[in-house]
Each structure stands twice: as structure tokens, then as C-alpha cells.
């Protein structure tokens, strides 16, 4: 119990979001990742112009992720108190940026038949 196990991790996250929403989020993340890999395989590589356009969404994803966490926790930038807080904010930003970039890339690929 005092050690990290996969079941502990899943149990905590199921409680946090509710089992339905948690598994829906996991399924969504897996689906987007799978779609990205499928697009890569189909096109045998990254489409550079599409990637650049997708990356335009990265700052939006970063800011949205940070704003969301501040919102659900009744806190704000002024509460950042130490280096580990900054690391946490950066990690949240990277997750948000990466996630939205990936999503934007996949959406463009699925909307256009040919890489553009």
C-alpha cells in the first residue's frame, strides 16, 4: 500500500474523475495517439508544414492547461512558492502544449486527404 502500484494509481485517478470520465479520458488519449501513429505510418513520415501549423497551437495548450489547474485548485501564479512549483507549472505546460499539438496535427491530417 505504501508503495506505488499500478492499481493504486488507477484507484486514485478513478476516484478523482469518477471511473467513467477517467476511462473516457484514457481512451481519448489512446485514440489520439493511435490516430497520430496511423497518420505517420500512412504518410511514411511527418508532414513538415502541417507540424508547424500544429505547433502554433502549443502555446494555447500550455496556457489552457495551467489556467485549468489553477482554476480547479483555487490558486494562481502568485502561489508559486519554490523551485518545485515552477517545475510543476512547466510540466503542466509541456503536457498541455504537447497534447494540443498532437491533436491539431491529427485533426489536420484527418481533414485533408493529402499531406499539406
Partner 1 sequence: MTHDITGPASRRAFLGLLGGGAALAAVRPVAARAQVATRARIVILGAGAAGAAMANRLAGRLEGAAITVIDGRARHLYQPGFTLIGAGLKPASYSVSATTDWLPRGVTFIAEAAAGIDPVAQRVTTAGGQAVDYDFLILATGLSLDWGGIEGFSPDLIGRDGIGAHYAGPEEAAATWREMDRFTARGGRAVIFRPETEMKCAGAPLKYAFLTEDEAARKGTRKGVEIAYFAPQKALFGVPIVAEKVRMLFESRGIRATLERTAKAIDPGRKIVTFEDADGIAHEEPYDFVNVIPPQRAPEVVRQSGLSWETKWQDQGWAEVDQTTLRHLRFPNVFAVGDIAGVPKGKTAASVKWQVPVVEDHLVADLGGPKATQGYDGYTSCPLITRVGRAMLIEFDYRNNLVPSFPGMIAPLEELWISWLMKEVALKATYNAMLRGRA
- Our finding on whether 78 is near partner 1 (CB under 8 A) is yes
Q: Given CA atoms 4, 13, 94, 25 in this order, what sign does their dihedral have?
A: positive
Q: Which of 50, 56, 52 minimizes the C-alpha distance to 108?
A: 50
Q: Does 67 bind partner 1 (CB under 8 A)?
A: no
Q: Among residues 67, 85, 110, 112, which is the contact residue for partner 1, using CB under 8 A? A: 85
Residue number with CB closer to partner 1 (45 or 83): 83
Q: Please pick, from the candidates 42, 44, 81, 113, the single residue that binds partner 1 as defined by CB under 8 A.
A: 81
Residues ≥6 apart with Cβ < 8 Å to 22? 13, 14, 16
Binding segment (CB under 8 A) for partner 1, from list 5-13, 31-39, 52-60, 105-113: 5-13
H or E segment to which residue 110 belongs: helix 83-111
Max distance between CA atoms of the chain, in angstroms, equals 51
**Does 26 contact partner 1 by CB under 8 A?**
no
Where does this chain bind partner 1 (CB under 8 A)? Answer: 1-9, 11-16, 69, 72-76, 78-82, 84-85, 87-88, 91-92, 94-95
Amino acid at each position: 500500500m505504501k508503495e506505488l502500484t499500478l492499481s493504486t494509481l488507477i484507484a486514485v485517478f478513478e476516484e478523482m474523475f469518477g471511473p467513467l470520465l477517467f476511462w473516457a479520458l484514457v481512451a481519448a488519449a489512446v485514440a489520439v495517439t493511435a490516430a497520430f501513429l496511423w497518420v505517420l505510418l500512412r504518410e511514411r513520415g511527418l508532414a513538415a508544414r502541417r507540424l508547424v501549423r500544429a505547433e502554433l497551437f502549443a502555446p494555447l495548450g500550455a496556457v489552457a492547461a495551467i489556467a485549468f489547474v489553477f482554476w480547479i485548485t483555487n490558486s494562481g501564479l502568485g502561489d508559486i512558492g519554490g523551485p518545485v512549483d515552477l517545475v510543476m507549472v512547466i510540466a503542466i505546460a509541456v503536457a498541455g502544449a504537447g497534447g494540443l499539438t498532437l491533436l491539431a496535427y491529427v485533426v489536420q491530417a484527418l481533414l485533408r486527404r493529402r499531406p499539406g
